[in-house]
Chains A and B, each alone.
Chain A
Amino acid sequence: MEKMEKNESHAISLLVSNKPGVLIRVALVFGRRGYNIDSLVVSPTHDPRFSRMTIVASGDLPTLWQIIKQLNKLVDVIHAHDHTGEIVVERELALIKVKCPADQRTEILQITEHFKGDTVDLTEDTIMIQVTGSSEMLDSMMVMLEKFSIIETVRSGKLIMARGHEST
């Protein structure tokens, strides 16, 4: 029988040295095991020597554990940690451009309001919405907007931070 492999999504946070090439070294660890990176955010930290990476990737769990150990082995990685299942604050931002003729404006604005989004650009027949929340919430909003023909979307990728005194 074929082995059932559950592909779960995991959010991994890395603190890395702020140097050229680090991103490639990190990506190679995933690539070597055939693990797909779904989203990746790199940003500076308050300490200019380090950067923060938040990676969402999906695949089987044992491989992921191995990948995290391999990441921690990289000299430029200060630490790598899987936050899945932990209580963390999780946010993502999306910009969504939707076709919006005047007669549909009200409904689109209602949806936007429901998801606590903002209108950041408006033309005769388009609207750009900015929305922040959990990735799941953003997904739900996208579903609601689908029937209005979405022109394009840009999502920031997931950001996570551990609560309280825990470090990310």
Chain B
Amino acid sequence: MQKSKKKLKTGADALLECIHKHGVKYIFGHPGGAAIPIFDALVGSPLKFILTRHEQGATHMADGVARATGRAGVVLVTSGPGATNTITGLITSQMDSTPMVVITGQTITPMLGLDAFQEADVSGISYPVVKHSYLVKNVHDIPRIVKEAFYLAESGRPGPVLIDIPKDIASTLFEPNYDVAMDLPGYHVPSHGDPVAISQAADYLNKARKPLLLIGHGTVIANAGPAVRYLAETMQIPVTNTLLGKGGFPETHALSLGMLGMHGTAYANKAVVGCDLIMSIGSRWDDRIVGRLKDFCPDAIKIHVDIDPAEMGKMVVPHCSIVGDARLVIEELNTQLKKGDTTDWIKQINRWKKQFPLSYKKHGGLKMQYILDELYQMTKGKAVITADVGQHQMWAAQFCKVDHRFHWITTGGAGTMGFGMPAAIGAQMARPDALVVAVVGDGGFQMTLSELATAAVNKVPIKVLIMNNRYLGMVRQWQNLFYDDRLSGVDLEGNPDFVKLAESYGIKGFRIKRNAEVHKVLAAALAYREGPCVIEAVVEKEDNVYPMIPAGAAISEMVLGPPKKKMAKPVGST
């Protein structure tokens, strides 16, 4: 026998081994010619491959994994159209800072740039929508690149990383060295904040009479929740959260104001207008929450804690900025607190809460609000809820309070219709014991509905709650409010029978048509554990989400219900 035969592997083998070593269980994707060597290596790999029906679905599933666990989800697709189909998922992940690693097959290196079959300049296309991307030119780089990719995706401000691997590189035999160092001289992860800035923040907080904490996705990502809670409770500071900040601070807590912003609670928005200090912890003062920038808290002290220096002064110019990990910064801050007196402020806030609660009509037609309220009462915050984009999403954010990290998954920055259901699949696979409910609109659901097959085949027991209002409801709402109800391109005529559709995939279907059925049907669906199920709720066609701050308006211009007079066209973005 031959002595000391070297352990040769293909690039693809090494790639998968590195991914597996990182602790990944599932890879979501779709095959094709340029990726076949990698798919070949999957045979016999401990990684489980989940075949999705569309590459976009794969990215949202990986994103669901990321948002349910904090660890990167992984996608594997082929070159050209396979790769370009991941762009929507990449921007969705990038805008919300979620960790994801997308691997794309590529044409063989000698053909790069020669318009080879299914060639696309994928790393080039990816630049604006990723945290970083790689085109692998040398098989020996694979272990280092994979290591760097996961580190970049998961550390600091997380984000998607793309690795484009030419087919010949994936097929090359080599002797991999897994014990490689990363080479990232330009990448630094801030950790502890500047102590001077932290004591300045403590000073401001100790002096404030009407302080407010604004927590964003960064609080969730950094697991700063317990530290924020200590801060809020010790100082008696009310807390409001962004759409993605849900789960950073218990929304059932007496100090919680729930979500702020365009469709946030009236009391959260009133607190923003009335506060004398606002401290953002891991939020980027998105235009959905600050409204007209020049009128945003003009007299309040603004403190900004964020791990990304590029967020400082991007929107709001803070009095005090602290670049660092939200948990470490707040923990340090917590050592410098002197208890202030916020009694009057809290009283005022409690008056607002009584005066302007979230509400809806409990009689009459079937309302999404009622179904979501009921869903929340029945699951009491135990469920992991994913939401798509539109009216149902805003109502889910309003009525499904979230107390814990990783229990709320939605697309915020990109607002990608079609995200909700595949994200639920990913979340459920990553957390098999969780109760995962996808709240989706009839419009958005149809953008990625083919992934019902993925849920069915893998027996992923998600509950897909389709809010069927036969409209692209959120756009109809804008046309109704700001464009004289001139409806244009929003009628979803031709919707399928969603129950039959589910059944055609071998999925259990439920339907809710009347108020009286809501509890019973939800109970049956929640108890159903044999696989995925779909609940179609045939809701009122025309209803609008309130409160609402028109885009680009000042927060004080919030409307609480149907406006009496015609509203001006919004000047803000979308």
Binding site for B on A (CB under 8 A): 16-17, 20-21, 24-25, 28, 32, 49, 62, 65-66, 69-70, 72-79
**Sample of 30 A–B contacts (CB below 8 Å):** A17-B186, A20-B135, A21-B123, A21-B124, A21-B133, A21-B135, A24-B124, A24-B127, A25-B127, A28-B127, A28-B128, A49-B185, A62-B313, A66-B313, A66-B314, A69-B309, A69-B312, A70-B310, A72-B309, A72-B310, A75-B132, A75-B152, A75-B184, A75-B186, A75-B187, A76-B132, A76-B186, A77-B186, A78-B185, A79-B186
Q: Nearest chain B CB to A129's CB is how many angstroms away?
A: 39
Closest to A66 in B: B314
Q: Are A65 and B313 in contact (CB under 8 A)?
A: yes
For residue B131, CB closer than 8 A to chain A, the reply is yes
For residue B308, CB closer than 8 A to chain A, the reply is yes
Residues in B with CB closer than 8 Å to A75 are 131-132, 152, 184, 186-187
A62 CA to B310 CA, complexed, in Å: 12
Q: Nearest chain B CB to A140's CB is how many angstroms away?
A: 37
Residues in B with CB closer than 8 Å to A25 are 127
Binding site for A on B (CB under 8 A): 123-124, 127-128, 131-133, 135, 152, 184-187, 308-310, 312-314
Q: Are A21 and B127 in contact (CB under 8 A)?
A: yes
Closest to B152 in A: A75
- Contact with A73, one of B124, B135, B308, B313 (Cβ below 8 angstroms): B308
Residues in B with CB closer than 8 Å to A16 are 186
Interface centre among A17, A21, A32, A76 (most CB of B within 10 A): A21
A79 CA to B309 CA, complexed, in Å: 13
Beyond A16-B186, A69-B309, A69-B310, is A32–B127 a contact (Cβ under 8 Å)? Answer: no
Q: Are B124 and A17 in contact (CB under 8 A)?
A: no
Q: Nearest chain A CB to B56's CB is how many angstroms away?
A: 23
A152 CA to B363 CA, complexed, in Å: 80
- Contact with A17, one of B185, B308, B309, B314 (Cβ below 8 angstroms): B185
Residues in A with CB closer than 8 Å to B185 are 17, 49, 78
A117 CA to B169 CA, complexed, in Å: 52
Q: Are A74 and B186 in contact (CB under 8 A)?
A: yes
A17 CA to B124 CA, complexed, in Å: 17
Residues in B with CB closer than 8 Å to A78 are 185-186
Residues in A with CB closer than 8 Å to B128 are 28, 32
Residues in B with CB closer than 8 Å to A24 are 124, 127
Closest to B137 in A: A20
Closest to A25 in B: B127
A25 CA to B186 CA, complexed, in Å: 14
Residues in A with CB closer than 8 Å to B186 are 16-17, 74-79
Beyond A16-B186, A17-B186, A78-B185, is A73–B310 a contact (Cβ under 8 Å)? Answer: yes
Known: A62-B313, A73-B310, A76-B186. 6 other contacts (CB 8 A): A28-B127, A28-B128, A72-B309, A73-B309, A74-B186, A75-B186
Closest to B157 in A: A73
Closest to A20 in B: B135
Residues in A with CB closer than 8 Å to B309 are 69, 72-73
Closest to A21 in B: B123
Q: Nearest chain A CB to B160's CB is how many angstroms away?
A: 13
Residues in A with CB closer than 8 Å to B131 are 75
Report, nearest first, the 3 A-B pairs whose CB atoms are least far apart.
A69-B310, A75-B132, A78-B186
Q: Nearest chain A CB to B181's CB is how many angstroms away?
A: 14
Interface centre among B131, B135, B310, B312 (most CB of A within 10 A): B310
Q: Nearest chain A CB to B173's CB is how many angstroms away?
A: 25
Residues in B with CB closer than 8 Å to A21 are 123-124, 127, 133, 135
Residues in B with CB closer than 8 Å to A77 are 186
Residues in B with CB closer than 8 Å to A62 are 313
A25 CA to B135 CA, complexed, in Å: 14
Residues in B with CB closer than 8 Å to A74 are 186
A25 CA to B128 CA, complexed, in Å: 8
A17 CA to B123 CA, complexed, in Å: 17
Q: Are B127 and A66 in contact (CB under 8 A)?
A: no
A90 CA to B561 CA, complexed, in Å: 62
A162 CA to B313 CA, complexed, in Å: 27
Q: Nearest chain A CB to B142's CB is how many angstroms away?
A: 16
A49 CA to B187 CA, complexed, in Å: 15
Interface centre among B124, B184, B185, B313 (most CB of A within 10 A): B185
Q: Nearest chain B CB to A118's CB is how many angstroms away?
A: 39
A104 CA to B124 CA, complexed, in Å: 51
A58 CA to B325 CA, complexed, in Å: 34
A32 CA to B128 CA, complexed, in Å: 9
A90 CA to B312 CA, complexed, in Å: 31
Interface centre among B186, B308, B312 (most CB of A within 10 A): B186
Residues in B with CB closer than 8 Å to A79 are 186
Interface centre among A49, A72, A75 (most CB of B within 10 A): A75
Residues in A with CB closer than 8 Å to B312 are 69
A69 CA to B184 CA, complexed, in Å: 18
Residues in A with CB closer than 8 Å to B308 are 73
Q: Nearest chain A CB to B134's CB is how many angstroms away?
A: 9
Closest to A76 in B: B186
Residues in B with CB closer than 8 Å to A65 are 313
A104 CA to B557 CA, complexed, in Å: 72
A111 CA to B430 CA, complexed, in Å: 75
Q: Nearest chain B CB to A98's CB is how many angstroms away?
A: 40
Q: Nearest chain B CB to A26's CB is how many angstroms away?
A: 10
Q: Nearest chain B CB to A24's CB is how many angstroms away?
A: 6
A25 CA to B185 CA, complexed, in Å: 17
Residues in B with CB closer than 8 Å to A66 are 310, 313-314
Q: Nearest chain A CB to B229's CB is how many angstroms away?
A: 30
Residues in B with CB closer than 8 Å to A17 are 185-186
Residues in B with CB closer than 8 Å to A73 are 308-310
Closest to A62 in B: B313
Q: Nearest chain B CB to A81's CB is how many angstroms away?
A: 13
Q: Nearest chain B CB to A152's CB is how many angstroms away?
A: 31
Closest to A17 in B: B186
A146 CA to B334 CA, complexed, in Å: 67
A25 CA to B132 CA, complexed, in Å: 10
Closest to A78 in B: B186
Residues in B with CB closer than 8 Å to A32 are 128
Q: Nearest chain A CB to B106's CB is how many angstroms away?
A: 14
Residues in A with CB closer than 8 Å to B123 are 21
Q: Nearest chain A CB to B127's CB is how many angstroms away?
A: 6
Closest to A14 in B: B186
